[in-house]
Amino acid sequence: MSRGVRGATTCTANDEKQMIRTTKVLVEEMIDKNSIDPTDVSHVFISVTKDLTATFPAKALREIPGWTYVPVMCMAEIDVDNSLPACIRIMMVVNTDKPQHEIKHIFHNEAIKLRPDLIKGELR
């Protein structure tokens, strides 16, 4: 069965190294908390807000061993008034036997505001 694993983080600057670093830290925690093997990943969508233009955050996944063949696509997040700036959002689709309530969604930095009911994958 396929499940979506959600993650999000923010950056403090439109800087290539920071975008890659924060994305990699986020994805590594998503992998760890959900015991994800790259061969079980169908695809990964990454969206960024319009103020993050320094690089494609998908580059971060290429730094993780075993993730070479995982399809990853970056796109622009819709520009909603008063939305969270400098935000990178991830939707990873994985094949897993876990029920939906056992999936750990990960939010870092200011992105914890996106889902106040979920903090680093734990229900409040």
**CA angle 114–32–21, rounded 5-degree value:** 65
How far apart are alpha carbons 74 and 36 in whole angstroms? 20
124 is in an annotated binding site: no
Amino acid at 55: T
CB 51 within 8 A of CB 14: yes
Rg (CA), the chain: 14
**Residue 91 structure tokens:** 């939707």
Which residues participate in the annotated binding site? 6, 89
Annotation: binding site for prephenate: 6, 89
